[in-house]
Amino acid sequence: DTPQPLELRVALAEVDRWYLDYLETVSEQGLADLVAFTFTDGDKGCMTRQEMLTHVVLHGGYHRGEIGRMLAAVAVSAPWDTYAVHLHRSEPARRLQG
């Protein structure tokens, strides 16, 4: 079932909190640890925890791009979704620098 927006917001906030808590406690050595895994197609893989976290960040951008493509296909303008826009909205004084 597709979650309702409020349910989705709560679930995403929990995931965000997990990542923030993890990053506050993981050591440099912990980030360098290798983790073996199996891809969804059955192939084996191995990445460091840091590489996995980088993958999560980059892969999220891929999904945001796909959503933007789908919105454009149905003639809906996608909202601004860039890091620079986020920084300037969350810290308006930055627009005055530079």
Residue 80's pLDDT is 76
At a CB cut-off of 8 Å and minimum separation 6, what does 39 contact?
Answer: 45
Secondary structure letter of residue 4 according to DSSP? P
Tell me: pLDDT of 78 over 70: yes
- The predicted-structure confidence for 18-29, as pLDDT tens digits, reads as follows 999 999 999 999
CA–CA distances in Å: residue 15 to residues 10, 21, 63, 78:
9, 10, 17, 24
Tell me: pLDDT of 98 over 70: no
Cβ-count burial 4-32 (b if 16+ within 10 Å, e if not)? eeeeeeeeeeeeeeeeeeeeeeeeeeeee
Q: Is the pTM of this model over 0.85?
A: no
Structure-derived torsion over alpha carbons of residues 78, 84, 90, 96, reported in degrees to the nearest 10:
-130
Amino acid making up residue 18: W
Number of structural domains (the chain) is 1
Q: Which domain holds residue 53?
A: 5-96
Q: What is the mean pLDDT of the chain?
A: 91
The encoded tokens of residue 39 equal 């891809």
